[in-house]
Structure 1
Amino acid sequence: MKRMLIFPLLAGSVLSVQAQNPIIQTKYTADPAPYVHGDTIYLYTTHDEDDAEGFKMYDWLLYTSTDMVNWQDHGAVASLKDFAWNDKENGAWAECVVERNGKWYMYCPIHGHGIGVLVSDSPYGPFKDPIGKPLVWQKEHWNDIDPSVFIDDDGQAYMYWGNPNVYCVLLNEDMISCKSDVMKLHDVPEHYQEGPWFYKRDGHYYLAYASTCCPEGIGYAMSDNALGPWKFKGYVMVPTDRTRGNHPGIIDFRGKSYGFGLNYDLKNISIKEHKERRSVGAFPLHYREDGTIVESPYFKDVVVAPANTFNPYQKVQAETMAWGYGLKTIKRGVEDIVVTDVNANEYIQLKAVDFGRKAAHTMKMNAAAVLGGQIEVRIDDKKGTLLGTLNIKSTGSEETYRTFETRLKAVEGVHDLYLVFKGKAGKSLMNLDWWQMDNEPVGHVTYSRIVENGGTGKYPAIMSEVKGLEAHTVFMPQDLSAFNENNPLPVLVWGNGACSNSPWEHYKFLNEIASQGYLVIATGYLPKNDEVYHGDMSTAQQQIESIDWALAQNKDKKSPLYHKINTKAICASGMSCGGLQTLYNGADSRISAYLICNSGLFTDASLTIPNMPMPSKDQLKKIHAPILYMLGGKEDIAYNNGMDDYHRINHVQAIAINYPVGHGGTYRQAHGGEFRFPAIAWLNWQLKGDQEAAKWFTGNSPLLLQRKGWTMEKNF
C-alpha cells in the first residue's frame, strides 16, 4: 500500500474554524463554573434532565479540557443526596468550585435550603459534606442561590451570591465556616439579575452576572475593592433574542481569556415552547488596557480557537470530544463513562489533533455491541480523507467490551479528527469506552529479552513482544540480514501447556529453535521473568492469529520481516493443551507439518475439561501433512492418547517418539533439554528439506535411536 503523508497546511485550513457552541452536546448543561488548575480546566456545571419542562436538576457534572475545545465528560461528581440534611429531590442549582491547600471545595445552592459545602481530596470527587448543615441560609427568603467563591492575593476568601439581591460573606481559611456576618450589597450593579461571578485580574475586581431580563445577557461591574462599591461597565455579551437566560464564568488559561455562559441552542427550542434544557457555551474574552471588557458577539457568532493541540497517542476516553451531537454518555460502574446511543452517520469530532511527524499507524477502539457497525476514521471533515475503518463486531452484549484495531494510512501534522459511525439506520450500533492511536508500525518490538545468550544455534535469537500482535510472544534471530526470499525463515506456531496464555514453561525450548533460523510465534504474553503465569487461558484461535500475522508481516514493506518468511513452511505445534489446540486447528491448509508434544486427542469421548478443545478422534482425518508425536513415555499422562492418535493415522506420514521423562518433558531445562534435538531435526527435515536431518527418523538405524532413552514408531 502506498504510504500517504498528509502535511500540515496553513493553520487556518487545518485547525477547525467553525463555531462549535454549545461545547457539550451529550447532556443538557448550565451554570458553568470553570476553574483552572495546572494545565487543565475543570468545568463544573449543573444538569438539566432530558425531559425537563421547568428546572429539573438533581446533580452536578464535571468536564475537563487542556485545550478549551476538546472536553472529557466525568459524569456527576456530586448530587443532592450528598447533603443528609436536605430533603429536597430537586433544586441542584448553580455551584462553584475552588481549590485550597490540596482540598477541593464545592459550594452548592439547594433552592430554598440555603447554600451547602462539600469537600474532596480530588477535583473528581468523591465530595463529602464536612459540616452537616448549610454554610449560609437566610430562611426569611429564597435568595440564597448562585454562589461564587474567590480567594484573594492576601489569602482572604469571599463568597458572593444572590437573586435578586447581592450578598457577600468572608470565609475562614478552612473554607467551610464564615468569618463575617452575611453582608447585603446596597449598591447593586445596574441590570443585575443573578449568577454573580467574582474574580480579580491585574488589580481590578470584577463582578460579572446575568444581566437584564428577559432576554438575559452577561453584564459586569468593576471595583478597586473586594467589597465594592461596584460600577457597571457594560456587557460581556449583550442580550439578544437568542439568549433568554445566562450565567457567566470567566477564566484566564494559557495566556488567553475566556468566558462561559449558557444558551438554549442545542435543540433550538423556540421561545413559544420554552423548556429549561440549557447548554453551556464558551467564547474568547478580550480586555482593554484600562481593564474594561470588549463586548463579545453571541456564542454561535464567535470561534474558540484551540489553546493547545491534542495528543492521539495517549489513551483517550471516548467521551472526550469537541462535538458529538446525537450521542449520549452514561456512567458504567463507579467511575467509568462510556458513549452510548450511537447511530449511523453520527460522529465524534476532536479538534487540533497533533499526529506529529512520526505518523499514526494503528488505532484501537474498546467497544461493546449487540448489532455492531463501522467507525470511519477521517480527518478535516466528516467526509474528509479516510485513514482507516474499525469494524466493530457484536460482542454479545452492550456490557461486554472488547478491543478492535485497524491499520491507518500514515498521517502527519495537525488535523481535526472525525470518528464517523456507519451501520444499520435507526438502530443503536455500539457503546464506546476508549480509543488510542499508535505511531509505531505493526511489527515494531515493544519489549525484548535475550534468553540464554540467544541459544546455541547459528543465529542468536531474541524473545520479543511486538506491536499489533497482542497476547503472543515472538522468537526470531536477532540479526535478520541473512534472511531473504532465497533464504526465508520457516515458521513454528506454538500453543502452551495447560492452555496457559504465556509460554513461561517453554520459552527456553522455543528460543533454541529460533536460534536455528526459525520464526517462532507462541501463544500468550511474553514471560518477563521465570514466575508462573496466573492469567486467562489461551484459545485455539490465537494459533491461527499467529499464522495470519506471519503471512501479513511477509507482505508488509514496513516490517523487518518483509519477504523474509517462508509462508509455505509452517509447522503447527503445541504441548499438552497446546497440542490439542494444534489438532483442533489441523485442517488449516496453510500448515505444512505438525509437532504434537505430550498430547493427543482424548480416548474417552465423554471427558470434558473447561476451556480446553476436545474434538473427537475424527479430527485426525483432517491432518493433511507429516506429523510427529513427541511424548514422555508411559509415565506421561498423554501417552495413551498420543499413541492412540498415532495408530489411527495412516493417510499421512506419522511418527511417534518417546523419552521417559513424564508429562513435563524437558522444556524448562537449559536450551529446552533433550527434547530440542528431535524437534529441531524434525523441523529441519520438514520445513527446510534437510536430508541429513531426515536421517534422525528414517532408515534402519535412525540417529534418534542412537541417543540413550529414545524409542520410536513410524508408519512408513
Structure 2
Amino acid sequence: MSPTALARERTEGADAARQVISRNFPDPDVFTHGGTHYAYATNTAGYNVQLATATDATGSWEQRADALPQLPPWIGPSETGSLNVWAPDVSARDDGTFLLYYTAHHAPSGRQCIGAAVAGSPEGPFIPTGPDPLICAPGQGDVIDPSSFVDDDGSRYLLYKDSRGTRARSGPSTIHLRPVAADGLTPTGADVSLLRADRPEESGVVEAPTLLRRPGGYVLLFSGNTFDSGDYFTNYATSSSPTGPFTKAPGALLSKEILGGAVRNPGGQDVFDDGGLIAFHGDLPEPPGDRGLWIAELSWDGLNPVLSREISS
C-alpha cells in the first residue's frame, strides 16, 4: 500500500468507531432485551460487575446498580488486593431467567476461575448459583473470559480462555468450547479446543471469544496479544461447525492502525444481536490502564465481518 493510500485508510479509520462510555469500562459484554441494550464490564470503582443501559447503542449510556452485588465465598482478594471480577457475560435462558458468567479470583488456589449467577432480569441482582466455581484449574493456570453461545437448533455452549501450564496470564493460551445443557451450567460433553495463540502478532495470547452463527457457518471473534501492549487487536476465525476446526483470517479486524490511531488496544469485543454493531474497549488518555467503551458498525461479506469506515449517526 502506498503512503498516500495508507494515510487515507487511517483517516477514514478514525471515523469508524464512536466512544460511548468514557470512564473505565473494560471487557464489555452487550445484550439486548425488550428494546433495551445492556452493557456489562469488569469490576471497578466499587462495582463487582458494572452495568450500563441504553435505548440507542450509539447514543448515551446510563450507569446502573452493581449487577452482582453479592459474591460467593470462593472469591477473595488477589495478591494486589483486588477481587479480579472480570469479563462478565449475560444471556437469556429458556425458562425466562438470565445467566451471568464471570471470572473472579479463587482464593483457595490463587487462580482466576469462572463462576455463574442467575437473575430474573438483565439488570439483576444476579445471585451466585453455588459456593464453588463453575470452571477452575487449580495448579494449572487461569481460566477466564467466559462467553455463551446458543446455536439455531438450541444447542448451548460455554466458551472460555485457558492459560493452563503457566501462571502468567499472558499464555500461551487456548480458547475452548464446552457443550452445556439449557441451564448453561451442566456439561453435556467434553470440552473442545477451538483456537490457540500460534501467530507471532498474538504474542502468546488469544482471548475474549465471541462465537456467532452466520449464514454459511460460524465466526469466532477473539482478541490477540496483551491487553496493554499497544499491539492488542481484534480478529476472527471461521468454520463450518461450532466445534471447528477454525481458520484465522489474516491481519486484524480492529487495531490501532485500522482505526486510524483513534483507539489504542481495541479488544475484549462483543457483537450486538443482529451482527451490525461491535462493542469493544480501548485505552483512555488517563488514568493509565483505564479503558472506555467504543461502538463500530459491521457489514458482512459471507462469513467475513467488514468494518464500516464511518459509523452512522
TM norm structure 1: 0.35
Q: Supply the distance in 1 between the matched residues of 2:112 and 2:196 (Cα, whole angstroms).
A: 26
Instruction: Rate the CA distance shift 1:246–1:77 in 2: closer, same or farther, 3 A.
Output: same
The DSSP-based 3-state class of the residue aligned with 2:83 is coil
Give the structure, 1 or 2, with the largest relative contact order (CA under 8 Å, sep 6 or more).
Answer: 2
Shift of 1:64: 1.9
1:99 and 2:92 are equivalent in the alignment: yes
1:198 and 2:217 are equivalent in the alignment: no
Alignment of 1:349-498 (within 5 A): none
Q: Supply the distance in 2 between the matched residues of 1:158 and 1:19 (Cα, whole angstroms).
A: 31
TM norm structure 2: 0.77
Identify the residue that residue 64 of structure 1 maps to in structure 2: 53
Identify the residue that residue 311 of structure 2 maps to in structure 1: 303
CA contact (8 A) 1:207 1:220 kept: yes
Runs of 5+ consecutive residues of structure 1 not aligned to the other structure: 1-17, 50-56, 306-716
Instruction: Rate the CA distance shift 1:222–1:58 in 2: closer, same or farther, 3 A.
Output: same
Q: Counting strand residues as a fraction of each chain, which structure ranks higher?
A: 2
Q: Supply the distance in 2 between the matched residues of 1:47 and 1:91 (Cα, whole angstroms).
A: 7
Q: Counting helix residues as a fraction of each chain, which structure ranks higher?
A: 1
CA contact (8 A) 2:146 2:159 kept: yes
1:292 and 2:308 are equivalent in the alignment: no
Identify the residue that residue 237 of structure 1 maps to in structure 2: 254
1:260 and 2:260 are equivalent in the alignment: no
Q: Supply the distance in 2 between the matched residues of 1:304 and 1:144 (Cα, whole angstroms).
A: 37
Q: Supply the distance in 2 between the matched residues of 1:296 and 1:193 (Cα, whole angstroms).
A: 24
Letter in 2 for 1:216: Y
CA contact (8 A) 1:86 1:113 kept: no
Aligned residues: 266
CA contact (8 A) 1:48 1:278 kept: no
Q: Where in structure 1 do 4 or more consecutive aligned residues deviate above 4 Å? A: 186-190
Deviations 1:449-471 (A, max 9, x none): xxxxxxxxxxxxxxxxxxxxxxx
Q: Supply the distance in 2 between the matched residues of 1:151 and 1:138 (Cα, whole angstroms).
A: 25
CA contact (8 A) 2:157 2:184 kept: no
Q: Supply the distance in 1 between the matched residues of 2:241 and 2:277 (Cα, whole angstroms).
A: 23
1:228 and 2:221 are equivalent in the alignment: no
Deviations 1:140-192 (A, max 9, x none): 33331111111111211111111522122111112222222333346557545
Identify the residue that residue 223 of structure 2 maps to in structure 1: 210
Alignment of 1:134-283 (within 5 A): 134-162=133-161, 163=163, 164-185=173-194, 190=199, 191=202, 193-213=206-226, 214=229, 215-234=231-250, 235-240=252-257, 242-244=263-265, 246-253=267-274, 257-265=276-284, 268-269=285-286, 275-283=288-296
Runs of 5+ consecutive residues of structure 2 not aligned to the other structure: 1-14, 106-110, 164-172
Letter in 2 for 1:244: N
RMSD (Å) for aligned C-alpha atoms: 2.5
Shift of 1:65: 2.0
Instruction: Rate the CA distance shift 1:186–1:246 in 2: closer, same or farther, 3 A.
Output: closer
Please identify the structure whose Cα radius of gyration is greater.
1
The DSSP-based 3-state class of the residue aligned with 1:176 is coil
Identify the residue that residue 4 of structure 2 maps to in structure 1: none
Instruction: Rate the CA distance shift 1:150–1:186 in 2: closer, same or farther, 3 A.
Output: closer
Shift of 1:92: 0.8
The DSSP-based 3-state class of the residue aligned with 2:128 is coil
Q: Supply the distance in 2 between the matched residues of 1:294 and 1:186 (Cα, whole angstroms).
A: 21
CA contact (8 A) 1:212 1:239 kept: no
Q: Supply the distance in 2 between the matched residues of 1:28 and 1:186 (Cα, whole angstroms).
A: 29
CA contact (8 A) 1:287 1:293 kept: yes
The equivalent position to 1:46 in structure 2, one of 38, 42, 46, is: 42
Q: Supply the distance in 2 between the matched residues of 1:304 and 1:140 (Cα, whole angstroms).
A: 48
CA contact (8 A) 1:58 1:92 kept: no
Identify the residue that residue 71 of structure 2 maps to in structure 1: 82
Q: Supply the distance in 1 between the matched residues of 2:117 and 2:195 (Cα, whole angstroms).
A: 30
Letter in 2 for 1:76: D
Q: Supply the distance in 2 between the matched residues of 1:229 and 1:263 (Cα, whole angstroms).
A: 30
Identify the residue that residue 33 of structure 2 maps to in structure 1: 37
Q: Supply the distance in 1 between the matched residues of 2:303 and 2:212 (Cα, whole angstroms).
A: 13
CA contact (8 A) 1:236 1:296 kept: no
1:23 and 2:20 are equivalent in the alignment: yes
Instruction: Rate the CA distance shift 1:263–1:194 in 2: closer, same or farther, 3 A.
Output: same
Identify the residue that residue 119 of structure 1 maps to in structure 2: 118
Q: Supply the distance in 2 between the matched residues of 1:217 and 1:205 (Cα, whole angstroms).
A: 20
